[in-house]
Amino acid sequence: MAAQAVPNYYSQVKPENLQNFQTITSKLELCSSLQQAKQIHACIIRNDLPVEIYAKLLQFCTSSSSSADALNYATQVFDNLQHEPTIFIYNTMIRFYANNNSPGRAFSLYRQMRERGTQPNNYTFTFLVKACTVNDSLLGPAIHAQSIVYGIQETDVHVYTSLLNMYANATTREGNLAIARSLFDRMKNKTAATWNSMIAGYSRTGKIDTARELFDQMLEKDEHSWNVMVCGYTRTGDFDVAERLFNQMPKKTLPTWNAMIAGYVRASKPTEALALFRKMQIAGVRPDAITVVTVLPACALMGATDLGEWIHMFVKRNKFDHNISVCNAIIDMYAKCGSIDKAFDVFKGMRELSLVSWNTMISALAIHGCGKEAIELFTEMEDGRIVPDDITFVGLLNACAHTRLVDSAKFYFNKMQNVYGIPPKIEHYGCMVDVLGRAQLLDEALTLVDQMPIEPNSVILGSLLNACRICRNSQVGEKVLQKLVQLDPSNPGYYVLLSNMYAASGEWEEVTRVRNLMKSRGVGKMPGCSSIEVDNMVHEFVVGDKTHPQTQAIYTKLNEISSKLESAGYLPDTSNVFFDLDEEEKAQNLSVHSEKLAVAFGLLNTRHDKPIRVVKNLRVCRDCHAAIKLVSQLYNREIILRDCNRFHHFRDGSCSCNEFW
């Protein structure tokens, strides 16, 4: 939309004030700081210039590049005007409030101007509709009706387009998309923006086929409509079509690459996301801050530390490290790649910390088993008068769960409610069940679940099932599993937990029954997969894997490891291996678990002074945990293993988890 033109008010200025008016107007056009604006404001007051000159002053203070102080000053100037504002001044402030998440102020100003007899124009409604769109306001239809009353909707293409966009993006009422389509079909001269709004609306609501129909009808497809379709297909999981569209695009700009990478990350396809990021670099497309925030979670999922460190250096070189979102993503990446010290260094080096920054760091400390450090950080946060939210307490309670801090967990669970007035959500109850279960307080955990004011979900029951496994209470575990299967019948993890529980108790007939139950329901055990990054390349292994180019060397190394372990007195823990194998077969099965293959590969291909970092998609088994702990001592290597629950830092024959995971 074209910038709103300032009317010529020179004719309304008294002759004796004309020169001052012109001089001050010129100064406002050259104004570059709030201090200058305040000085000019003082001149306006001293010369008693008409209200029209405030238009340019407010325009400067509310521009997108203005500081927070300038924005606050704009509100003060407007609220203290001694004369009735002009329509231009009203529109300037309505636009300002619409752009700054203050729709209530925008609507209040609209009511005020109507009550004082100032008639709205097309700009007024464009800004009001934007306020409704950005904030998904229920007032949208009322503003639409007002535009019709004033005869503006049908005559102004910008208002019409804004209304269509508002309805296409609304989520608060049923039928909004149908209204948007009605406006779209009646529109005589459709712009690219209107096509894109409709396509985006259908895509967002899962109606990808209808979105594709409109997309195919577009004569001139711009970059935005291509990106919307690519994102739409990635959201539905149809990556074949998404990739085909991506490859067919006549021109791929940076937002296009970002959209496709984001689609892969959103669908938990980190390998594909990182591969596309490398293609993007080969194509000579320079990443921006959005790319960085998008691709770092893929590094985190894969444990791609080297690539994550390269991105961090890129961020520093390009001064993106002033961006809070970028820094938060780097903290999360380092933490999930096992470099908790580097994560903390980034946190401490940030110029400005948001609540997300504190929450990210507390959660990072939690998954590394640094419960006391997480509590210390929370105390520092409170001392700085940073008000925590529900996410803060999820991280804090998780930290307590991973370090057996039962009393601390109870204290903060109560403090969350009694001091900060945050009612517990299902996630907080899940953390508390996990805390109690890991501490073998199964009865307390059961009581808490019974007293919950909300129905337990699969996370709560999963934590309860794990508590039954720890306490070897297969009777309660069986009941919990029945409820879990009703909620999520296709999740193999629950069956495996119960099976391991029976195996640990020597109840082999029950193990067979659970396995048969899995087969009858078509539930397959999720294959274990471990990954390790070496020289910027991520290598993945599954149990018994023999597909890697270095397979022969890896298995030779495994035999060497097994021989050293045996000499050190290590005996394989076969208690959880299915009983229909003899002891020798059980031991052989354990020796080729994916994490052991990854560690052997790491010993072959990494420097002695560098830690070996392994990421596993499942919980590490007790045998692998015991074996890797001893390997760290025998080979004098630091080994960092991330499983689906937490990090294990193996050094000198011990683990950071202290046998508690």
Residues 6+ apart with CB under 8 A from 251: 223
Mean pLDDT taken over the chain: 86
Return the pLDDT at 175: 72
pLDDT in tens, 470-507: 888 888 888 887 788 778 777 787 787 778 778 777 78
For residues 74-103, give the mean pLDDT. Answer: 86
Domain count, the chain: 1
pTM over 0.85: no
In the predicted structure, residue 17 carries a pLDDT above the cut 60: no
Nearest to 180 by CA among 168, 190, 172, 189: 168
pLDDT in tens, 254-279: 988 998 999 999 988 998 999 999 99
Q: How far apart are CA 52 and CA 61, in angstroms?
A: 15
Give CA 464 to chain center in angstroms: 27
626 domain residue, yes or no: yes
pLDDT band, very low/low/confident/very high, at 134 (cuts 50, 70, 90): confident
292 domain residue, yes or no: no
Q: How far apart are CA 552 and CA 300, in angstroms?
A: 30
pLDDT in tens, 530-579: 999 898 888 999 988 999 999 999 999 999 999 999 999 887 766 655 44
Q: How far apart are CA 606 and CA 310, in angstroms?
A: 18
Return the pLDDT at 265: 93
Please state, in angstroms and as integers, the Cα–Cα distance from residue 146 to each residue in 102, 111, 142, following that order.
20, 11, 6
398 domain residue, yes or no: no
Strands 647-651 and 639-642: antiparallel
**Segment holding 44, helix H or strand E:** helix 34-46
**Segment holding 647, helix H or strand E:** strand 647-651
In the predicted structure, residue 601 carries a pLDDT above the cut 90: yes
Please state, in angstroms and as integers, the Cα–Cα distance from residue 113 to each residue in 51, 106, 121, following that order.
15, 11, 11
pLDDT in tens, 440-468: 899 999 999 999 998 888 888 888 888 88
Under 8 Å between Cβ of 85 and 78? yes
Return the pLDDT at 512: 86
542 domain residue, yes or no: yes
Residues 6+ apart with CB under 8 A from 434: 398, 401, 463, 466, 467
Nearest to 377 by CA among 340, 334, 424, 351: 340
Return the pLDDT at 24: 74
591 domain residue, yes or no: yes
In the predicted structure, residue 13 carries a pLDDT above the cut 80: no
| Cβ count within 10 A of residue 286 | 10
78 domain residue, yes or no: no
Q: Which two tokens stand for residue 247?
A: 């490859």
Within a 13 Å sphere around the CA of 51, how many CA atoms are in the beta-carbon half? 14
Q: How many helices (H) and strands (E) does the chain have?
A: 34, 6
Q: Which two tokens stand for residue 58?
A: 């407010």
Under 8 Å between Cβ of 163 and 146? no
580 domain residue, yes or no: yes
3-state DSSP assignment of residue 17: helix
Long-range contacts at 563-572 (CB < 8 A, ≥ 24 apart): 564/634, 565/627, 565/630, 565/631, 565/634, 568/630, 568/634, 570/626, 570/627, 570/630, 572/623, 572/627
614 domain residue, yes or no: yes
Task: Give the lowest-confidence range in 74-83, 338-347, 490-499, 597-606.
Answer: 490-499
Under 8 Å between Cβ of 20 and 49? yes
Return the pLDDT at 168: 86
Which range among 6-10, 12-16, 308-312, 474-478 has the greatest average pLDDT?
308-312
For residues 204-229, give the mean pLDDT. Answer: 90
Task: Write the burial class of residue 5 (CB in 10 Å: 0-12 exposed, 13-18 middle, 19+ buried).
Answer: exposed
pLDDT in tens, 148-203: 888 887 678 888 888 888 888 776 566 788 888 998 998 888 888 889 889 988 98
pLDDT in tens, 357-398: 999 999 999 999 999 999 999 999 999 999 999 999 999 999
3-state DSSP assignment of residue 406: helix
Structural domain that includes position 543:
531-655
In the predicted structure, residue 511 carries a pLDDT above the cut 90: no
Return the pLDDT at 213: 93
In the predicted structure, residue 291 carries a pLDDT above the cut 90: yes
Q: Which two tokens stand for residue 71?
A: 């924005």
**Segment holding 52, helix H or strand E:** none
Long-range contacts at 258-261 (CB < 8 A, ≥ 24 apart): 258/288, 258/290, 258/291, 258/294, 259/227, 259/230, 259/231, 260/230, 260/234, 261/291, 261/294, 261/295, 261/298
Q: What percent of the chain has pLDDT over 90?
A: 43
